[in-house]
């Protein structure tokens, strides 16, 4: 009688599980159908679970309490500045600069995935060379460019189409090379050398491959074979899930950096050692948003606090050049840019403050914080549409605060709101 | 049979019923029917929303829209009063909307414009600058009349709609005021098709 009893309980439990897991099974089957043959692409072998550790030179950068009371004078820390105006023509009109890459052969690659769904290729002098814009379902076409990146050692551009589940490869001059299927979904990716790519993925999307389902970072060989996965998606708040950082994965010259959501720590993505190293963290003290919130906070309460704009948050806007790191932070909201800092890992000195002020160097800080790295140079984007109203007002009031380079003055005087951005390259003084 | 066994039998029966019920329900709901069911519920939700917004539209402030400043694709600054807004279908979207949601409406809008004349659809967009606006229109393949409007200004008078974070459509009546609002959802193209068919006069214009 006892056995029947136990068997009955087991049967009921089993039946309940079967009933509940029905939806998940359906989701898995749907993805398996869509990505049929994915096992051959991503490999059937064991996927290594990558480790995480603190780098030996890990830094905790203390953000001063009154950071917003001071102004970041970029002119104080900039050594050399040069400008490149990107050619403007109706055939090469950039909607927004989402990513910027620079090749050794002297190409400037502008990825515009949000507006033009195109990749623009310019020469080092800013002259337009070619554009990758092939919307369609043909073998060399894409329906939706989810992301794109630059393979620096092969000088190839790779574009990920998440609607047709494939990567398209192009030469540095925009000629189509090949198309390759992918076996999993991701949102962003960067090339990290030796044919390896690092991919950022959202949790519970890749349900067809359980070992990576809840991981945030995946490393592949040529966007195909999955080699390792890193860090479980984690939220410190019991009621807030499926959030992502706007700039969780950034390219900084030849290096890539990862900032998990709800974290003020920046990881250097270097997979040679199969361990992801925490490079530095921003210590906001009592002013940090994440640490100040209750774990049981609701989504509405979270946004309410965010909109009060009393606490600082960091969504991954960072770059590294030599011994220096750059970061920008905001007081509430998702957009970065209220304040920024440059930190020397060597001397531990920090230059930080409000970014946008009439007192700061109008050539540089006023318009844009750096958004890319080219060798030892940081690169800012001067967008005419953003700059022109201020420029006109300044011209009227004759209120230039710094000497302009004649070239920049000439460009700014002749530019219109329809012109492509001017790129500003600058090196930092030693501090 | 003791009460304990009765409980076991009951649980067993309940479990069996649950699994058969779920399976039967799944079989009955073929994907087509499931979509229709979702569409119905969404239409209902959409109607609720429209009712809510209709109430707002009927408010005196919304009836007399401010004279918004608009910029056309050539950079010319114009005002709301400069245009004939009677009997138009305004497609409203901005740089904060998801591109896929906007894209999903493009074939419908093209069809409406083709069949009802070039001036029927007007695009009212909010982008940071003209370059962004033109690039976006080019990418979408939309060559209708388009105006850029400052989002903050427009949001003040259309708060309920703008806060949805979705693109939407506004029909203007004979007096040029809002007459109906529709919020299309990309996952449910059938609902959108139904809406556009009504615009095209293919179904009862209620």
Q: Each residue of B95-119: pLDDT tens digit?
A: 888 888 899 999 999 999 888 886 8
Which residues of B touch chain A, with CB atoms under 8 Å apart?
4, 8-9, 11-12, 14-16, 18-19, 22, 26, 75, 95, 99-100, 128-132, 134-136, 138-139
A394 and chain B: CB distance < 8 Å anywhere?
Answer: no
A16/B18 CB distance under 8 A: yes
Residue A12 dihedral angles phi and psi, to the nearest 5°: -60, -45
> What digits encode the pLDDT tens for the residues A21-44?
567 888 899 999 999 889 889 887
Chain B residue at shortest CA distance from A12: B15
Contacts of B95 in chain A (CB under 8 A): 114
Per-residue pLDDT band for A70 (boundaries 50, 70, 90) equals confident
ipTM of the complex: 0.73
Taking the CA of residue A15 and the nearest CA in chain B, the distance in Å comes to 6
Which of B8, B15, B138 lies nearest to residue A15, judging by beta carbons?
B15
Look at residue A189 and tell me whether its pLDDT is greater than 80: yes
Best residue in A11, A14, A15 for a mutation probing chain B (most B CBs within 10 Å): A15
Nearest CA in chain B to A383: B129
- Chain A to chain B, count of Cβ pairs less than 8 Å apart? 73
pLDDT reported for residue B153: 81
Q: Tell me the two tokens of residue A361.
A: 């160097």
Neighbours of B176 (CB within 10 A): 15
Partner B, chain A 71-110, Cβ-Cβ below 8 Å: 93-96
CA distance A376 to A363: 20
**Nearest CB partner across the interface for A94, out of B12, B75, B135:** B135
CA distance B188 to B108: 13
pTM comes to: 0.82
Rounded distance, CA B81 to CA A378, Å? 47
Q: How confident is the model at residue B59 (pLDDT cuts 50, 70, 90)?
A: very low
CB contact under 8 A, A19 and B12: no
* Residues A288, A297: Cα–Cα separation, whole Å: 16
The one-character DSSP state at A430 is P
Q: Which of A67-71, A162-166, A370-374 has the lowest mean pLDDT?
A: A67-71
B22 vs A93: CB contact, 8 Å cut-off? no
Q: Looking at beta carbons, which residues of chain B come within 8 Å of A144? A: 100
pLDDT band at B63; cut points 50, 70, 90: very low
CB of A10 within 8 Å of any CB in chain B? Answer: no
Interface probe for A, chosen from B131, B134, B138 (most Cβ of A below 10 Å), is: B131
More confident residue, A398 or B153: B153
Of A8, A118, A417, the CB nearest to B8: A8
Q: What is the pLDDT of residue A97?
A: 93
SS3 for A42-98, per residue? HCCCCCEECEEEEEEEEEEEECCCCHHHCECCHHHCEEEEEEEECCCCHHHCCCCCC
**CB-based contact A96 B132, cutoff 8 Å:** yes
Does the structure show a pLDDT above 60 at A350? yes
Contact flag B138-A93 (C-beta cutoff 8 Å): yes
Please, which residues bridge with residue B121 across strands?
B89
Cβ-defined contact of B8 to A95 (cutoff 8 Å): no
| DSSP state string for B149-172 | E-HHHHHHHSHHHHTTTS-EEEEE
Asked if residue B61 has pLDDT above 50, the reply is no
More confident: A396 or A80: A80
- Judging contacts by C-beta atoms under 8 Å, the chain B residues touching residue A114 are 95, 99
Query: A385, B132: Cβ pair inside 8 Å?
Result: yes
Residues of chain A with Cβ-Cβ distance to B22 below 8 Å are 19, 22
How high is the pLDDT of residue B158?
A: 77
Residue A248 pLDDT exceeds 60: yes
Q: Which residues of A touch B26 (CB under 8 A)?
A: 22
Return the beta strands (E) in chain B as ranges. Answer: 69-72, 77-79, 89-94, 121-126, 145-149, 168-172, 178-182
What gap in Å lies between CA A283 and CA A109, rounded to an integer? Answer: 34
Q: Do A8 and B135 touch (CB under 8 A)?
A: no
Residue in A8, A95, A418 nearest the CB of B136? A95
A399 CB contacts (<8 Å, ≥6 apart)?
A: A358
| Chain B residues with beta carbon closer than 8 angstroms to that of A11 | 12, 15
Distance, in angstroms, between A268 CA and closest chain B CA? 30
CA distance A37 to chain B (A): 24
Mean pLDDT for the stretch of residues A115-129: 96
Residue A349 reports pLDDT greater than 70: yes
């Amino acid at each position: 009688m006892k056995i029947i009893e136990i068997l009955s309980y087991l049967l009921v439990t089993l039946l309940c599980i079967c009933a509940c897991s029905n939806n998940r099974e359906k989701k898995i089957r749907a993805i398996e159908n869509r990505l049929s043959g994915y096992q051959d692409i991503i490999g059937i072998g064991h996927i290594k679970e990558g480790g995480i550790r603190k780098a030996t030179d890990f830094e905790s950068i203390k953000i001063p309490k009154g950071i917003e009371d001071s102004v970041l004078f970029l002119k104080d820390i900039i050594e050399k500045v040069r400008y490149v105006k990107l050619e403007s023509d109706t055939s090469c009109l950039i909607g927004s600069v989402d990513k910027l890459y620079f090749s050794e052969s002297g190409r400037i690659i502008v990825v515009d995935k949000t507006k033009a769904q195109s990749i623009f290729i310019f020469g080092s002098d800013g002259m337009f060379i070619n554009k990758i814009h092939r919307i369609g379902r043909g073998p060399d076409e894409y329906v939706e460019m989810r992301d794109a990146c630059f393979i620096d050692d092969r000088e190839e551009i790779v574009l990920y189409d998440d609607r047709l589940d494939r990567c398209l490869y192009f030469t540095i001059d925009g000629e189509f090379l090949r198309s390759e299927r992918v076996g999993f979904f991701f949102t962003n990716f960067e090339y990290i050398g030796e044919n390896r790519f690092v991919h950022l993925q959202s949790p519970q999307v890749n349900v067809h491959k359980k070992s990576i389902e809840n991981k945030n970072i995946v490393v592949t060989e040529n966007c195909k074979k999955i080699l390792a996965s890193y860090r479980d998606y984690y939220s410190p708040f019991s009621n807030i899930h499926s959030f992502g950082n706007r700039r969780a994965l950034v390219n900084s010259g030849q290096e890539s950096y990862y900032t998990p959501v709800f974290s003020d720590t920046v990881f250097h993505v270097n997979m040679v050692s199969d361990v992801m190293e925490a490079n530095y963290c921003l210590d906001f003290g009592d002013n940090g948003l994440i640490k100040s919130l209750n774990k049981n906070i609701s989504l509405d309460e979270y946004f309410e606090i965010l909109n009060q704009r009393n606490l600082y948050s960091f969504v991954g806007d960072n770059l590294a050049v030599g011994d220096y790191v750059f970061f920008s932070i905001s007081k509430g909201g998702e957009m970065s840019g209220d304040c920024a800092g440059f930190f020397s890992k060597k001397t531990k000195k920090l230059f930080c403050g409000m970014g946008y002020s009439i007192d700061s160097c109008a050539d540089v800080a006023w318009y844009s914080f750096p958004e890319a790295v080219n060798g030892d140079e940081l690169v800012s984007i001067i967008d005419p549409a953003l700059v022109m109203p201020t420029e006109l007002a300044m011209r009227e009031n004759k209120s230039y605060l710094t000497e302009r380079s004649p070239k920049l003055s000439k460009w700014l005087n002749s530019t219109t709101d329809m012109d492509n951005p001017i790129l500003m390259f600058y090196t930092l003084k030693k501090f | 049979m003791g009460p304990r066994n009765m409980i076991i039998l009951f649980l067993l029966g309940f479990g069996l019923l649950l699994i058969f019920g779920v399976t039967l329900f799944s079989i009955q709901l073929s994907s087509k029917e499931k979509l229709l069911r979702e569409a119905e519920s969404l239409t209902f939700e959409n109607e609720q929303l429209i009712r809510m917004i209709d109430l707002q539209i009927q408010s005196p402030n919304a009836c007399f829209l401010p004279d918004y400043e608009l910029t056309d694709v050539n950079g010319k600054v114009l005002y709301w009063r400069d245009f004939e807004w009677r009997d138009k279908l305004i497609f409203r979207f901005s740089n904060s909307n998801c591109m896929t949601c906007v894209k999903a409406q493009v074939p419908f809008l093209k069809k409406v414009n083709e069949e009802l004349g070039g001036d029927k659809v007007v695009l009212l967009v909010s982008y940071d600058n003209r370059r962004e606006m033109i690039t976006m229109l080019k990418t979408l393949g939309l060559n209708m009349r388009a105006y850029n409007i400052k989002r903050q200004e427009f949001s003040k008078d259309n708060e309920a709609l703008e806060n949805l974070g979705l693109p939407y459509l506004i029909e203007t009546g004979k007096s040029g005021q809002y007459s109906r609002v529709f919020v299309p959802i990309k996952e449910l193209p059938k609902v959108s098709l139904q809406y556009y068919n009504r615009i095209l006069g293919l179904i009862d214009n209620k």
